[in-house]
Structure 1
Amino acid sequence: MDPNKPRPPRLADVTRLPWLLQQARGAGRAPGVPDVPRARGPLLPDPGIGRTAGMAFSRGFLPRQCGRGPREPAGGPLMSFARGLKLQPEESELGRGRGLHLRAGEPEVGVRKEAFVPGQESGSGHDVKLQVLGQPAASDLPEGMPKLEAEELAPSQVKQVRSPFCFTLVDCYSHNLSVHINAKSSCLKYYNVKQSLNLIWCWSGLSLVILQYSEPLQKKGSMGSPVPIGSNHIPIRCKNEAVFQYCVTFTPNVESIGMRFGMMREHRSITGNVVAFDGSILYLPVRLDEVVHLKSERHTDKQEIDIKIQMTKILPPSSDLCIPFYNVVLRRVMKILGLKLVGRNHFDPRSAVVLGKHRLQVWPGFATCIKHTDGGLYLMVDVTCKVLRNDSVLDVMNVIYQQSRESFQDECLKELVGSIVITRYNNRTYRIDDIEWSKSPKDTFTLADGSQTTFIDYYSKNYGITIKELDQPLLVHHPKERSKPRGKLITGQILLLPELSFMTGIPEKMRKDFRAMKELTMHINLSGEQHSSSLKQLLQNINSNQEALTELTRWGLELKNDILMTEGRTLPLEKICLQSNSFITSPDVSWSKEVVRDASICCIPLNRWSIFYPKRCAEQVEELVVTFGKVAGPMGLRLDRPIHVEVKDDRTETYIKSIHSQLNSEPNVQLVLCIIFGNRDDLYSAIKKLCCVKNPVASQVINVRTISQSQKLRSIAQKILLQINCKLGGELWTVNIPLKNLMVIGVDVHHDASKKSRSVMGFVASLNSLLTRWYSRVIFQMPNEEMISGFRVCLIAALQKYYEMNHSFPEKIVVYRDGVSDGQLKMVELYEIPQLLQCFKTFPNYEPKLTFIVVQKRVNTTLYLLGGNGHSTPPPGTVLDHTVTSREWVDFYLMAHHIRQGCGLPTHYVCVYNTANLTPDHLQRLTFKMCHLYWNWPGTIRVPAPCKYAHKLAFLSGQYLHSEPAVQLSDKLYFL
């Protein structure tokens, strides 16, 4: 209000609502007085012009006014939300300017995403989220009169809203309007209009509550070339008007969940056949009376039970609360099609591909889920497969026994613990956590009804299986503590028979067999055309199966006949910068030839280095050293002859003693290079522990088989030298980064599945403007602890190191956080980000801008390039930032890497926090640039380089070192 402007004359009997005392901006009511909305203006005894920002009521005269327009009696009830002029009561249309006046007699309220406004064109498009609550308190207001109450809202969510229903819906005083409307209408209509306002309407005194609102997320970029994109999302249409939620109570109380289900089944004539019931909450696609009373008899004591079914919510069919039921319906449909549920996915054993030579079976299948995205409701289907081995766990144990009888039990634990097995009698998968050597199938266990039985009798009676090996030990699986749908808590352990448990996954021996893996890859890596054809075949199977269609129709679901087709963008190719040369990448984003023809940005001379090898591979070692000398010059590297140390045998102790002795006699050694036979994890771990923890020095371990092929030795030597240069502190290449004074951080967590040890977090941060110098730290955590409690320690150390190098702190910090699922995003926002913000207070007057991006590699979204040749793999740099993206976050899908075999699997990026105000184009371009900076591969990779570095660091520390590396190595990429 203008202080120089004269105040209007005070009207008689104008008050500030005395029972509110000093809280005139809240809501309240005196006993016997009608409900009063949250008002800041005066209460007028008779008609007049109300220059108020709220609503004004009078006991004898019930005007309604919202905004700054004229106030008039509510004779033929009107809801006046206007800044302009109000039209006559018999009219229901838009007023002049921003006004809107609707009659409130027989309300027909729009449900879904928008409010129904005839011809509405104005409004700012804020997204207002609503939720239906229970019965409102009794009101003294006449029927049809809205009751407004105040509810608290976070200050960050409170802004001025301009919607077609009011000019000031939520003011700047941290309150929210809860509109309770007592309507008699029995119809529910849906309208598609432009205003971004979500309404959920209920009859007969149920509530319409505005919970929060926010501006629409700006996530769509514009840079790059448009490209037609397909995705494995199938649009779903919801034909039902609503899904109805009811609260079910039993009097007297019925404890047994199973008995509750039985009683509800007795009343299918009332509830119908289509139900979703968890023991207390009932969901139906049909509307019952507001309160329904049913009678049942408890069979145990013949007690009559009163079942009360009371409506509590009416949900739009696209509500997130409905999605779990839709997924249950989808599982039923897949079962109707003959697919078997294994874990969370559905497979078709009838179409299994048998690889008899390798004793494997490949079951084709689908991973499915229904999700709500920016584009609406979609069924997401990913083509997957299950690799099953014909070997049972008992077969594997027999092989181990033949190979090492003395350490049989230890070798079995090492080989089997952590493996996933499938029990084919019920197609369930389990993780082996332990082996119970003292038990056998002859032992007994307790059934659910309390009776005792042996494992032999149990499998014979329930599955018709005769156990052959009676003295085999039992496998132990510890399920995560969780509740079953009927309320039972799953705890304790599950015992499995090795004879009936079959190994899954690709054997380790086979992974090292190139030809075997090539044959297997033909069946598990589908091209884009094969992938999309499988989806279309599934849709055809569903639409041609009447039983499957009926199951979908019961809940009002209808699947489109084709996958989603939309438009994405391809980002511009980047320029790679070397020491004295730069070039635009080729379309396949590979620069393996250029990087060995020109000098790297920074090359570290290798003056003192030692090479350790067994005597029998001396010839290969000498050939490798000679090749090093030939290829080093063009790459800008200079290296002297190494110190040759020949070890007498290839035992771990021999290597460690030789290396330790050499480091003591030559303290200035820059590099330890070891040539070993075979894939020796024990030897590799011992060498890395010595060189990364006890005697910090750069180290390189090479399998002799890698350098035994003379025709490939030159290219192998070039790659090894590039890697060695990184480990010494060299810098290979970079890209143009427009952002100045920037620090980029990568974070990942490694969990060792085979050992019950701590988890380890890898932290890597850039130290210079070229993003070619990196600082790394490792933090160990409690088992399976994903959220990083040591974030603060790492960031403070990185900022101090950055200051040492640049004599200033970074102005912008971008964090790429890997390994976070959708369910953990809120935890990251509430727990990890505050730790980072707290770090900045350590340094006086330091307030940098922060952007926090979650990186998700394990996504089921697949992208196809649409063209004349069908569905192919999208080119590197393809980004999709709409339609399939999340409604709650600024996110995008990016395919940064080149795919030679298979279909387009993008990486999902979710921006959780962004005070740096980076636009969607900035986020996407920066992320694509960072995918070019992984120096172990002269090309782009799936994730930003700092994330990959953090992963390599965490894996090395958790898998081999089992302790924090020496701090002397923290400014070098020693873990590559």
Structure 2
Amino acid sequence: MSSSGKSRGRGRARPIQSKDTNVPGGLQDYSDLETSSCVSQRSESSDMPQNISETAQSDEQFRAEKPRRGNPPKVMPGAPRGSGVQGITSEFSTMRIGSSSGRSSSRSVPYSSMSETQPQATEKQGTVGDPVNIIANYIKILTKPQWELFQYHIEFIPNVENKRFRREIISQHRTQFKDVAFDGTTIYTFDDFGDSPEFVCRHPATSEEVRVILRKVARNSPDSPIFFHLANLIVRKLLELSGMKLIGRNYYQFDHKIDLDRYKLTLFPGFMTNVNIYEGALMVNVDLSHKVLNKTTVYQRLQDIFSQYQDVKYAQDTATKELVGQIVLTTYNSKTYKIDEIAWDRSPSQTFPMRDGSQCSFIKYYEDKYQLKIIDPGQPLLVSKPSKKDRRAGVNAPFLLVPELCCVTGISDIMRSDFHFMKEIASYTHVDANTRYNRLRQFVTDIHQNSECQDELAKWNMKLDTDLVKFEARILDAEHILYFDRSVRYNYNEADWSRDGRNMRHISAKSLYNWIVVFPGRDEQLSLGLIDALIQVCKPFGMHVEYPYIQQLLNDRPESYLQALKDSIPHNTDLVLCILSNNRKDRYDALKKFLCLDNPVPSQMVLTKTLSRRNQLMSVATKIGIQINAKLGGEVWGVQIPTKTLMVIGMDSYHDSKRRGASVGAFVASTNPTLTKFYSRVIYQRTAQELMDGLAICMKDALKEYYQNNNSLPEKIVLYRDGVSDGQLAAVAEHELPQIIETFPKIMSGYEPKLAVVIVKKRGNARFFQQEGRNIQNPQPGTIIDHTVTSAEWYDFYLISQCARQGTVAPTHYNVIWDRTNFKVDHMQRLTYKLCHLYYNWPGTIRVPAVCQYAHKLAFLVGQSLHQDFSVSLANKLFYL
């Protein structure tokens, strides 16, 4: 028994919220409220304070010591490009056709600019399943322009950074630039202005003379890839003409804002759009978007923190812990930045080098460029390191931001832990299928009823359809869930067999003869109640559970748990179960490191709040029992797999939270004919070469494990690769794929299994609605969409495999970039759907194949808690569930 003692200190590490966003529900080591993925981490500025004049503080408020002397490192304020600073400027209220986006968002790549990935399959459309009427969130562009388009790069001398000023300068020559599209750096027009025309204008703010030089860079036909860029500019112009305002990449309806005064937040509804070509037809993909504005500036938050603590150094540390890693939005433009550190020794009164070599203070810069007066010259500055995109553009110096001019965006951890707050946010953002459909239809109607929008389309010889696109899809049959001696046919609409599976014997049940339960003394009754419940509920599973060895602690400190385990774990321990009073991260990490690295044993963590509801104890114990059997290497249930010599693999990645620049690649492969036993490994990667070397080792070890289990090697292998964007497809095909293929003959001479590689994409903006008469609802699980809104150049399809009880269901997109299996299209689609039934943490279908979700769970555990490879003795167990 460990020694007693209370945990002391002013703060604890924040718990990590491990979310199974691909799973409708289910038991996890740490469960928390799922947050709406459509709540974005951005803000708007109309209600945002621009200065803090009444509460200006002296330089000493935020500083524990005097600033260092000497020349500071070269940095750039988070402002415009041109005068030695980086960024693109514009007022929040400015209506724009396009702008640079926030730092963390990702663009979809136009199909026309991608390499063709469709493998040998000549037909990508399946036939199996019942027909169903589907509506998609796409609008057809009915008439494609037939014109020549001239493209000009525009240069301003002296340079003008502010996009709004650039537009105003261009508008001074309305006769020359009557029908043009301008994205801030390039003009698109029907008119040929010559090769290098020049104009003289006046700066709208300073009245100084500005030379405008146009340089012809291209002459494009309607079939040119540049058309997609122009079409997106035109569609975004329609949003602007409809009265919406741009924040980051999307447009929002300020007149429909929702004030959440209790939380000092404002929620803005809006739309995202993207024009692309799908199955030969040009269409606009449109979906709802939401932005959250935190009305509190970073400066105000710093003041709140420093008013709470007399110790300046402690206040600095507290502010650093809270703000570093947060995304902030600048009030003078719509750009977002991630705070990487706080420069306590810097201030707005200090200077930075301009492009012409002169020095300028931050105070003077913002007053001259934006007419913004910085009230507190002694506040520290926020440091944001350049993103990969910035570095590719040649920007290597960090950005410096003024706290007065920045607002914290999104939702804080405290808010996320507030059930009532998250429920209120979800009521606006997690809209059901019928509400989403009606809003999208209203969007189309508003465009058609707006005369300015119609004039803009007519100017470019374009016309939009009057409704969302409709077509026929298919619903695959529900699967039979196979247990030891019986099968279950689940409810078709819910795709959930939790009730039926409660008393079913598992395919392969592992028993608990030697296991340990550790808990604080104050939780004795809850812990003993769980033990009794587990012994009872596991009997129908075929699991024999002996009474465990009990370790009762005097306190819940991490060292107490560790010492108790070190004193009591024999070499033949089957499982360690720890009862935890809360999800304190340092304790969780310490336990997982000890039980996955130092003394590798499958482990289960259970929170006391999960056990506190007596009427739900048996249900909780049932889920824990299923999870324990899976962690021990048991097989809970299965589905019919016609091909008996098949291996499926799931890969996903996660950035390590401590090892900067390192990513964890998780590799999970099936090792038996029924695809119910698995072998797992991880790859730590900093470079592409590390990934390829590690991938070869994982593939080799997985095939050895398969051979040991079956005395043969798989004839076909299907690899589901998650975590890959459209722009990374070439890297997978050119680097990862050859590495896998080269591994096969190294296992056995002449071994050449038939391989398929499928890219799994969850973050797309496609949404589908099932129409039954006048009713609009989410499509049923098993719905396949493989035409109309898919790519003509890809072997791809959408699958809705999960049931969404709230909100609008999100489909998963599958792109088969390599296929030598000779599977028919129906076979590939049905196999993918079958695999969505085999995730043992949830008795129902999930959003991705189970091997992908297992890989996600493993990568998350290693990247957040272990920070190194786990013991290989655990590789054939799902210890990370």
In the superposition, the TM-score normalised over structure 1's length comes to 0.72
Residue 527 (structure 1) aligned with residue 421 (structure 2): no
Deviations 1:78-110 (A, max 9, x none): xxxxxxxxxxxxxxxxxxxxxxxxxxxxxxxxx
Pick from 312, 324, 339 the counterpart of residue 417 of structure 1: 324
Query: Any residues of structure 2 matched to 1:352-751 within 5 Å, and which?
Result: 352-397=257-302, 402=308, 407-447=314-354, 451-480=358-387, 482=389, 489-587=394-492, 588-663=494-569, 666-751=570-655
Distance 2:323 2:658 in 1: 9
Aligned counterparts of 2:495 and 2:118: Cα–Cα separation in 1? 43
Q: CA deviation at 1:905?
A: 1.3
Indicate conservation of the 8 Å contact 1:341/1:347, yes or no.
yes
Structure 2: distance between partners of 1:248 and 1:407: 52
**Residues 207-226 of structure 1 mapped to structure 2, 5 A cutoff:** 217-226=122-131
The amino acid of 2:670's aligned partner reads S
**Aligned counterpart, 1:973:** 878
Letter in 1 for 2:664: V
Amino acid at match of 2:221: L
User: Within 1, Cα distance between the matches of 2:602 and 2:710?
Assistant: 25
Aligned to 2:740: 836
The structure number with the bigger radius of gyration is 1
For 2:395 and 2:374, locate their aligned partners in 1 and report how far apart those are by CA, in whole Å: 27
For the residue of structure 2 that corresponds to 1:816, the secondary structure is strand
Q: How does 1:308-319 map to 2 (within 5 A)?
A: 313-316=219-222, 319=224
What per-residue deviation string (whole Å, max 9, x for no partner) do you get for residues 337-384 of structure 1?
332322222222332212223333221111111111114111111102
Distance (whole Å) between structure 1 residues aligned to residue 762 and residue 369 of structure 2: 41
Deviations 1:698-717 (A, max 9, x none): 11111111111111111111
- Deviation track 1:107-152 (CA, whole Å, cap 9, x = no partner) reads xxxxxxxxxxxxxxxxxxxxxxxxxxxxxxxxxxxxxxxxxxxxxx
SS of the residue corresponding to residue 861 of structure 2 reads helix
Q: Secondary structure at the match of 1:237?
A: strand
Q: 1:351 matched to which residue of 2? A: 256
Amino acid across the alignment from 1:750: Y
Q: What is the rounded CA distance, in whole Å, between the counterparts of 2:697 and 2:268 in structure 1?
A: 47
Take 1:640 and 1:553, find their aligned partners in 2: how far apart are those partners? Answer: 77
Equivalent-residue separation in structure 2 for 1:483 and 1:651 (angstroms): 44
User: 1:831 Cα shift?
Assistant: 1.4
**Aligned partner letter, 1:622:** L
Q: 1:912 — aligned with what? A: 817
- Larger RCO (CA within 8 A; separation ≥ 6): 2
Q: In structure 1, what is the Cα distance between the partners aligned to 2:839 and 2:657? A: 26
| Residue 769 (1) aligns with residue 676 (2) | no
> Which residue, 684, 687, 692 being the options, matches 1:780?
684
Preserved CA contact (<8 Å) 1:526 1:903: yes
Instruction: Tell me which of 802, 813, 832 is aligned to 1:897.
Output: 802
> Contact between 1:728 and 1:972, CA under 8 Å: does it hold in 2?
yes
Q: Deviations over 1:739-776 (max 9, x none)?
A: 12000000001024686251100100000001111000
1:809 paired with 2:713, answer: yes
Cα deviation for residue 432 of structure 1 reads 1.5
Shift of 1:466: 4.5
Alpha-carbon separation, structure 1, partners of 2:833 and 2:676: 16
Find the partner of 2:699 among 785, 789, 795.
795
1:260 deviates by 13
Cα separation, 1, equivalents of 2:804 and 2:533: 31
Are the aligned partners of 2:117 and 2:817 in contact in 1 as well (CA < 8 Å)?
no
Give yes or no for the alignment of 1:229 onto 2:106. no
1:432–1:721 Cα change, 3 Å: same
1:411 CA displacement: 4.0
CA contact under 8 A between 2:509 and 2:542: conserved in structure 1?
Answer: yes
Q: Contact (CA 8 Å) 1:787, 1:828: kept in 2 or not?
A: no
For 1:621, the aligned partner's letter is: S
Does structure 1 retain, via aligned residues, the 8 Å contact 2:180–2:187? no
Change (3 A) 1:623 1:306: closer
CA distance in structure 2 between the aligned counterparts of 1:362 and 1:266, rounded to whole angstroms? 36
1:561 and 1:450, CA in 2 relative to 1: closer, same or farther beyond 3 A?
Answer: farther
- Tell which deviates more after alignment, 591-600 or 548-557: 548-557
- One-letter amino acid of the structure 2 residue matched with residue 802 of structure 1: Y
String of CA shifts for 1:213-257, please: whole Å, max 9, x gaps: 99994110000000000011011133421333568899xx99989
**Cα deviations across residues 820-854 of structure 1 (Å, max 9, x unaligned)?**
11111122111111111111121211010001000
CA distance in 2, matches of 1:350, 1:729: 56
Alignment of 1:19-58 (within 5 A): none
C-alpha contact (below 8 Å) 2:118/2:794 kept by paired residues: no
1:335 corresponds to: 240
Deviations, residues 525-561 of structure 1 (Å, cap 9, x unaligned): 0111111221122222322333333333332222212
> Relative to structure 2, which stretch is displaced further, 699-708 or 385-394?
385-394
Q: Which has the larger displacement, 850-859 or 745-754?
A: 745-754
Distance in 2 separating the partners of 1:413 and 1:785: 35
TM-score normalised by length of structure 2? 0.79
Q: Check 1:788–1:525 CA distance in 2 against 1; reply closer, same or farther (3 A cut).
A: farther
Residue identity matched to 2:755: L
SS at match of 1:535: helix
In 1: Cα distance, 2:508 partner to 2:221 partner? 62
What amino acid maps onto 1:440 in structure 2? S
Q: Supply the AA of the counterpart residue of 2:320.
A: L
8 Å contact kept, 1:342–1:427: yes
Paired residues, what number? 754
Q: Using the alignment, how far apart are the partners of 2:409 and 2:536 within structure 1?
A: 46
Unaligned stretches of 5+ in structure 1? Answer: 1-199, 201-210
Q: 1:506 to 1:267 in 2, by over 3 A?
A: closer
Task: Give per-residue Cα distances to partners, 1:39-92, cap 9 Å, x unaligned.
Answer: xxxxxxxxxxxxxxxxxxxxxxxxxxxxxxxxxxxxxxxxxxxxxxxxxxxxxx
1:811-890 matches, cutoff 5 A: 811-842=715-746, 843-890=748-795
Provide the C-alpha distance between the structure 2 equivalents of 1:436 and 1:504, rounded to a whole number of angstroms: 20
Separation in structure 2 between the aligned mates of residue 963 and residue 488 of structure 1, nearest angstrom:
34
Shift of 1:442: 2.6
Quick check: 2:181–2:234 contact (8 Å CA) kept in 1? no
**Separation (CA, whole Å) in 1 of partners of 2:347 and 2:369:** 18
SS in 1 for 2:757: strand
**Distance apart, 1:726 and its partner CA:** 1.0
Using a 3 Å threshold, how does the CA distance of structure 1 residues 523 and 944 change in structure 2: closer, same or farther?
same
CA distance in 1, matches of 2:213, 2:322: 57
Alignment of 1:41-190 (within 5 A): none
Name the SS of the counterpart of 2:382 in structure 1. strand
Matches of 1:535 and 1:261 in 2, distance apart? 30
More displaced, 966-975 or 829-838?
829-838
Which amino acid counterpart does residue 801 of structure 1 have in structure 2? Answer: E
